[in-house]
Structure 1
Amino acid sequence: MTSLSPIGGHVSVTGGLAKGGLRYAADIGAEMIQVFVTNPRGWALAAGTPAQDAELLASGMLSFVHAPYLVNMGSPTPETLEKSVATVRHNLLRGHAIGAKGVVIHTGSAVSQSRDAALRQLHEHLLPLLEEIPDDGPDLLLEPMAGQGGMLCATVQDLEPYLAALDWHPKAGVCLDTCHAFSAGHDLSTSEGVKETLDALHAVAPGRLKLIHANDSKDTLASRKDRHENIGAGHIGAAPFAEMLRHPAVAGVPFCIETPGGAEKHREDVDTLKKLRDT
């Protein structure tokens, strides 16, 4: 029997990582959660609260961590690179403390340097962080972007040189964002496009898909714009998510919404995905 994908979302941790996060998860009917363990838009590294960490760990809730948006391991700016390394290391340590299965990072941009130089930089600075992860620690999940600017990774095919730069390390996994993939040119609005995209991902990185960010898109195919929409309210539509949930490469892979709105909208999105999964 095919393993069912847990469905949940990125949750608010207002009131505490465990107290706020688990409360929000209950409000939206989440079977898994994704959290920030530090300010997503800054470099300050929050130490966390051991009691909250222990409570979240004891809850048994399947969890993932999303690293701050400023992280760019491909940056040519030494200060940004140094802070990115420190931030990823910190998020991996915090993820281990709460029992997270993965820490998501955006795959970054070469900015003003060449793609080859940026990939060499990944080998020099990101690969050592992968080596530091203990066997029972979280995977580092690479999230391709929508294709803006000098992004190192947008299509699933872009993952091949990226993973090669990391020596195909076993702790390097993939987080596929459906809005990003659609905006980068993968037509996830059709059953054929869903199959083609997931088949290609499995061919490039078999067994490495560990998380799906389930987001509809406010913008059209290949727009290169990163604007998420609620499930079924955008240009992807609801039905293709059922196709994704049935694809063999996605068996058991958690689906995490990062959609607009508060708890009511998030509950609707989680419910929609559960119905598509369970029918």
Structure 2
Amino acid sequence: MTPRNAIGGHVFVAGGLATGGLRYAAEIGAEMVQVFVTNPRSWALSDGDPSEDAKLAESGMPVFAHAPYLVNFGSPTQTTLDNSVAVIRHALRRGAQIGALGVVVHTGSAVSQSRDDAMRQIHEHLLPLLDEIPEGGPDLLLEPMAGQGQMLCATVQDLGPYLEALDHHPKVGVCLDTCHAFSAGHDLAAPGGVAETLDALHATAPGRLKLIHANDSKDACGSKKDRHENIGAGHIGEHAFGEIMRHPVAAGVPMCIETPGKGDRHREDIELLKKLRG
């Protein structure tokens, strides 16, 4: 029997990481959750609440953490690079404390320097952090972006050089964002588009898909715009999400919505994905 995809979302944690997060998960019918373990738009690091961490770790809910958006190991700015090291070290430690299966990180941009220099920085500064992950700790999940500017990783094929820079470390996984992939040029809405994309992902990063960000797109394929839409309300369309769950590469991989709105709209997106799961 094909493993079932757990379907959930990024949850609001007002009231506590576990207390608020699990309450919101119940409200929207989530079977898995993604959380921020520190401010997503700041370099400041939060130690968290040990009691809340323990509740989340012991909840039985599959949990993923998302690193702050500022992280960029390809940046030519030394301060950004140093802060990125500190933030990911912190996120991996906090991920272990809450029992996270993975910590999602955006793959970054070369900004004004060459891709070769950016990749060398990834090898020198990100790879050592992977060796610090404790036994049973979370994987680091690379999330390719929509292809804006000098992004280092947008298409699934771009994961090849990135994984090579990280020596194909066993603690590296992939988080595939459907909106990003579509905007980067993978036409998930076209006949055969889902299979073509996931087959290419398997060829480039076999066995590394650990999480799917299930987001429709406000913009057309290849737009290089990162604008999420509710499931079935964008250019990807609901049919593609059912195809993803039926493809062997995505079998049993958790799916997390990051769609507009909250409450009722998130519950509707999750209910639709569950229906498509069949």
* TM, length-normalised to structure 1: 0.99
CA distance in 2, matches of 1:188, 1:51: 42
* Equivalent residue, structure 1, for 2:130: 130
| Cα displacement (A) at 1:134 | 1.5
Matched, 1:192 2:192: yes
CA distance in 2, matches of 1:115, 1:150: 8
CA distance in 2, matches of 1:273, 1:245: 9
CA distance in 1, matches of 2:233, 2:154: 23
The C-alpha deviation readout for 1:71-103, integer Å capped at 9, x for no partner, is 001101000000001000000000000100000
CA distance in 2, matches of 1:99, 1:57: 4
* Equivalent residue, structure 2, for 1:210: 210
Taking the TM superposition and a 5 Å limit, the aligned residue runs for 1:4-43 are 4-43=4-43
CA distance in 1, matches of 2:191, 2:103: 29
CA distance in 2, matches of 1:189, 1:9: 22
Deviating 4+ runs (over 4 angstroms): none
AA matched with 2:238: A
* Equivalent residue, structure 1, for 2:89: 89
| Cα displacement (A) at 1:191 | 3.9
* Equivalent residue, structure 2, for 1:74: 74
CA distance in 2, matches of 1:115, 1:9: 33
AA matched with 1:21: G
Taking the TM superposition and a 5 Å limit, the aligned residue runs for 1:88-107 are 88-107=88-107
Gaps of 5+ in 2: none
Mapped contact 1:176–1:212 kept (Cα < 8 A): yes
AA matched with 2:13: V
Aligned to 2:58, the other structure's residue is in SS state helix
AA matched with 1:43: W
Matched, 1:247 2:247: yes
* Equivalent residue, structure 2, for 1:114: 114
Gaps of 5+ in 1: none
AA matched with 2:112: S
AA matched with 1:107: T
Taking the TM superposition and a 5 Å limit, the aligned residue runs for 1:143-158 are 143-158=143-158
| Cα displacement (A) at 1:20 | 0.4
Aligned to 2:207, the other structure's residue is in SS state coil
* Equivalent residue, structure 2, for 1:61: 61
CA distance in 2, matches of 1:200, 1:107: 18
| Cα displacement (A) at 1:160 | 0.2
| Cα displacement (A) at 1:222 | 0.2
Measured on the aligned residues, the alpha-carbon RMSD in Å equals 0.5
AA matched with 1:159: L
Q: How many correspondences in the alignment?
A: 278
- Quick one: percent identity of the two aligned structures? 74
Mapped contact 1:191–1:243 kept (Cα < 8 A): no
Aligned to 2:221, the other structure's residue is in SS state coil
